[in-house]
Structure 1
Amino acid sequence: MTECKQQVFGFQALKSRKVTVDFAGGYLSSDGGGLFLREVEERHRIIHKLCECFTDHRHQGYTDHKVRELVAQRINALALGYEDLNDHDRLRLDPVHALLAGKEDLTGEQRVLERDKGYGLAGRSTLNRLELGGCGRDERYHKIEPQPEQIEALLIAEGVKAIPRKSRQIVLDFDATDDPLHGRQEGAYFHAYYKSYCYLPLYCFCGNIPLWAQLRDCKRDASKGTVAALGKIVPAIRRRFGRRVRIIVRADSGFAREAILSWCEQHGLYYCIGFARNPKVASMLAGTFEQLHERIDEDELRIPARQFVEFGYRTQNSWSRFRRMVGKAEVLDKGDNPRFVVTNLPARGFPGEDPERFAPARLYERFYCARGDMENRIKEQQLDLFADRTSTHWEASNQLRLWFSAFAHLILSRLQAEVLKGTQWARASIGQIRLKLFKIAARVRISSRRVHFELASAYPWREDFRRAHANLLLAGYS
């Protein structure tokens, strides 16, 4: 049984010894490893630049929390696994989160109002006003105004800077996904494919680096907005890497649209995009399927069996020209499985490179199918960084939440590339990094000369922690 006497909680004894618990342990946190996030921010100043994209109309003499501190508090909390504003009413007691937000008074003991003493950070109400500032609400309470165009441009600029400087080829993966809605939220429409009311956000990633995160209603084609996104992303890439860098757009069949294909061709981009089958294009594989079935019947091949072919193809009305198509004729236990991609990548490769690199089989299996990794990035956005927590009524504030998740992802991708190399987390998911690196019990001792963190002695991945810290020093962080 559990007993509570004078703030001491008793649990079942360990043989002859009592087991008791109290809350006199001092300032403790479960996010001791989150200090690595602060190092990334101190070097790249991503959150600092993001805060410059907000206009603060508050009277600075009456504010306890700067915009920089509010945005840092929100983004770092997402990275550490706290999805809701409600969480911040408890997190405002946490000295680790206060340090990450840039607070000098980590415990809130120096705050002016007596009711606020002991709380180093803002609560949910203040953060809520931050997120709703761009919705045209009552100006008396919503005085922090985001600048969407600047935030969008900053995500692109910082994302492009995160791409390795010596890259000769940059692959841009585009995809749309569903973000279910509940109630009469602004922009809520029913989507027949997903069978729910939802948003349809558009993402662009380069590897695990987010470059574009656009919240859209679902009453549109999945590819809508891709050309506009390319029109902003591609110039930023070429300013950093020069016009000779090879840019390849990769996406599923929802993006095989004339506007996208022709834009890429006109601006010197390559593409490899899925194509939904129709009777005409399916007929191009009829002979190949016949050959496969004959060879299977004669025991020359076993199921699953596949063969790749390429051919020129033009749609009846929508395309302006013939384009290179690669078809996969695959026989599975459940039947035939034809698949297609459209591409302008050269069949014989680029001069001085492997001439078989973009041959039909390798193009489909090694290059096109690799776009499936972007699905993992979207899962991380929605499941690990809570990009689907778009629960406010207004679309503008939900877009801001989506950007906060994207910037958290960008910071974590920087951390993984520069600090976690050589550790077990170099290619781990965000959830694993959070569980094994960030979630460390820590006692915080604060004096006039230093802030000292005592991490749990039983922490099992101490060697990887040391290696990550050594990477900080080697990379010139501290």
Structure 2
Amino acid sequence: MCKDTTNNGVSQEKNLFSFQDVLPDRKIQVDFNAPDISSNGGLVLVGLMKDSIARKIARLIPDYRNQLFVQHSYEEMVCQRVGQIMCGYEDANDCDRLRHDSALKMSVGRKASDPGLCSQPTMTRLENHIDKRTLWKIAELFVKDYISSFDKAPRKIILDVDDTNANTYGAQQLSLFNDYYDEYCYMPMVIFDGMNGKLILPLLRPGRRNKSLNIFGILRRVIEYIHKEWPHTIIELRGDSHFCSHEFMDWVKTHLYVRFITGLSGNPALMKKIDKQLRRAKGDFELHHEDVRRYYSFEYKAKSWKYRQRVIAKIEVSDKGVNVRFIVTSNRNNKPETVYRRYCKRGTMELWIKDLKYFRADRMSCSSFRANMFRLFLYGAAYVTAYRLRSKAFSNTEVGAFTMDSFMKRIMLSAVFIVEKKTFIRFSFSPHHRHLEALSQALTRLSA
């Protein structure tokens, strides 16, 4: 081999670098002859999961290709894309440099020695192949998968609904300017189970200013689908004032299994209702110089409402000034403070949205709106898969309490050593892995 010695005492051979003056009694050698190693060892766990949501999504996509020439099935491609997202590689461009990764191959059902997975152009063609009918089927699948995650029908569930911005920087279809965020964006709507953080449905929507548009139709379809499977379950909707529509409140009156607590935008008519209570709260603050917080309940009917509804006002007076908030609810039994505190628990949803965005669910790089909606479903599938791994395989361990960011960095991005033999393929984690016991427990549960 060709050898060269530099002025720094570093001798170089082909693919071998030797450093003389680093340690007093040893020289350091660096080469590129290591066996098969992957930095995405967490994908081994994904590959061991039975009938993941990624495989279910793939089965809904019609395949019109000539099967004589197909090298990459849709199931492999969807599983590849979701696996990459779970490891922090959110773009289709990442397919080109990860297609030969042995852990990724195993997670989609290939051996390490098999040909590489699909490249970026093939993945992009898949994203742009999805039609409207398939998108609706996938949306329905998310709700169906949520229902199947329960062993039995719960007595009550809470649907936390909110939207978030996904900023756009190109010529994406239906990307509109939103004055609240001061950006061109999409406004995806997400529905979580308010009791545990399970993702029920992510749905891409244009970045229009009127965020309440078409909300009622979407929520009604989701609620009716859940009720069909769980006819005795109480379904409570919780959201901010953007989801307070008179169509929904009127519909709830005739569907006794539905409850709601939503924010309500203030107006002069509402302020007039609490004028006496507000003056009393201000007087108490001036008298005692202590912060005042009061809750009041009253009946109210806007002109567009068909029925009178229960409105709860929270009045706060402090050194910072006066803060008044309103909510409207179908709950007529509990005390105003109890209902308002239950509404405030929806704030936890912001953490779940943050978890979803750790998978870069706001990355909408395709030109077509339908392709971007399919991308959002893939990001949602990554969240659902990671949530299921974390809550089931890693339950009762420190990993079970991780955020999705920590789960990705500490579990999914674990180095693994791969050895392929005639009768087996072995994936070896480091004996010094920080979460060795948790990984051992997860593998035990996945092998059951």
Tell me if TM exceeds 0.5. yes
The residue type equivalent to 1:123 in the other structure is S
Q: Deviations over 1:278-310 (max 9, x none)?
A: 1221233333333333333333x623x311111
> 2:276 and 2:23 mapped to 1: Cα distance?
75
1:309-388 correspondence to structure 2 within 5 Å? 309-315=296-302, 317-347=303-333, 358-365=334-341, 367-382=342-357, 384-388=358-362
* Higher deviation after alignment, 13-22 or 170-179: 13-22
Report the 3-state secondary structure (helix = DSSP H, G, I; strand = E; otherwise coil) of the residue aligned with 2:400. coil
Which sections of structure 2, spanning at least 5 residues, go unmatched? Answer: 1-7
Q: Deviations over 1:324-367 (max 9, x none)?
A: 011100124321110111000132xxxxxxxxxx32112112x1
Q: CA RMSD in A?
A: 2.1
Report the 3-state secondary structure (helix = DSSP H, G, I; strand = E; otherwise coil) of the residue aligned with 2:162. strand
Question: Are 1:54 and 2:42 matched, yes or no?
Answer: no
How far apart are 1:223 and its partner, in Å?
2.4
Whether contact under 8 Å (2:179, 2:209) holds in the other structure is: no
Partner of 1:66: 73
Question: Are 1:427 and 2:436 matched, yes or no?
Answer: no
The residue type equivalent to 2:35 in the other structure is G
In structure 2, the CA distance between the partners of 1:158 and 1:221, relative to structure 1 (3 Å rule), is: same
In structure 2, the CA distance between the partners of 1:4 and 1:404, relative to structure 1 (3 Å rule), is: farther
The residue type equivalent to 1:60 in the other structure is Q
Whether contact under 8 Å (1:89, 1:123) holds in the other structure is: yes
> 2:53 and 2:177 mapped to 1: Cα distance?
36
Whether contact under 8 Å (1:313, 1:325) holds in the other structure is: yes
> 1:190 and 1:340 mapped to 2: Cα distance?
28
Partner of 1:99: 106
1:191-202 correspondence to structure 2 within 5 Å? 191-202=178-189
1:94-133 correspondence to structure 2 within 5 Å? 94-103=101-110, 105-108=111-114, 111=115, 120-133=116-129
Q: Deviations over 1:248-272 (max 9, x none)?
A: 0000011111012122222221000
Question: Are 1:31 and 2:40 matched, yes or no?
Answer: yes
The residue type equivalent to 1:68 in the other structure is E
How far apart are 1:419 and its partner, in Å?
1.5
How far apart are 1:90 and its partner, in Å?
1.3
> 2:69 and 2:171 mapped to 1: Cα distance?
36
* Higher deviation after alignment, 22-31 or 335-344: 22-31
Q: 1:188 aligns with which of 175, 188, 193?
A: 175
How far apart are 1:461 and its partner, in Å?
1.5
Report the 3-state secondary structure (helix = DSSP H, G, I; strand = E; otherwise coil) of the residue aligned with 2:141. helix
Count of residue pairs the alignment pairs up:
436
Report the 3-state secondary structure (helix = DSSP H, G, I; strand = E; otherwise coil) of the residue aligned with 1:298. helix
Whether contact under 8 Å (1:285, 1:338) holds in the other structure is: no
Q: 1:251 aligns with which of 216, 234, 239?
A: 239
Report the 3-state secondary structure (helix = DSSP H, G, I; strand = E; otherwise coil) of the residue aligned with 1:183. coil
* Higher deviation after alignment, 424-433 or 228-237: 228-237
Q: Deviations over 1:37-59 (max 9, x none)?
A: 2233x1x4422221111111222
Identity across the alignment (%): 27
Which sections of structure 1, spanning at least 5 residues, go unmatched? Answer: 112-119, 136-144, 348-357
TM-score in terms of structure 2 length = 0.92
The residue type equivalent to 1:286 in the other structure is D
> 1:155 and 1:220 mapped to 2: Cα distance?
27
> 2:95 and 2:372 mapped to 1: Cα distance?
18
How far apart are 1:100 and its partner, in Å?
0.5
The residue type equivalent to 1:424 in the other structure is E
How far apart are 1:157 and its partner, in Å?
0.7
The residue type equivalent to 2:137 in the other structure is Q
Question: Are 1:89 and 2:96 matched, yes or no?
Answer: yes
> 1:252 and 1:427 mapped to 2: Cα distance?
27
How far apart are 1:4 and its partner, in Å?
5.4
Q: 1:262 aligns with which of 222, 227, 250?
A: 250
> 2:437 and 2:65 mapped to 1: Cα distance?
47
Partner of 1:18: 27
> 1:164 and 1:288 mapped to 2: Cα distance?
48
Q: Deviations over 1:417-474 (max 9, x none)?
A: 32221011223211111122222111000011111011112211212222333443xx
The residue type equivalent to 1:179 in the other structure is A
Partner of 1:228: 217
How far apart are 1:217 and its partner, in Å?
1.2
Report the 3-state secondary structure (helix = DSSP H, G, I; strand = E; otherwise coil) of the residue aligned with 2:251. helix
Partner of 2:440: 466
> 1:153 and 1:133 mapped to 2: Cα distance?
19
Partner of 1:7: 15
> 1:163 and 1:171 mapped to 2: Cα distance?
14
How far apart are 1:10 and its partner, in Å?
4.9
Q: 1:134 aligns with which of 130, 135, 152?
A: 130
Whether contact under 8 Å (1:191, 1:218) holds in the other structure is: yes
Q: Deviations over 1:351-401 (max 9, x none)?
A: xxxxxxx32112112x1111111112222222x111111111111100100
In structure 2, the CA distance between the partners of 1:448 and 1:146, relative to structure 1 (3 Å rule), is: farther
Partner of 1:142: none
How far apart are 1:176 and its partner, in Å?
1.3
> 2:245 and 2:372 mapped to 1: Cα distance?
28
How far apart are 1:196 and its partner, in Å?
1.2
Q: Deviations over 1:131-189 (max 9, x none)?
A: 11137xxxxxxxxx981221111111112222462521110111111111112221122
Report the 3-state secondary structure (helix = DSSP H, G, I; strand = E; otherwise coil) of the residue aligned with 1:205. strand
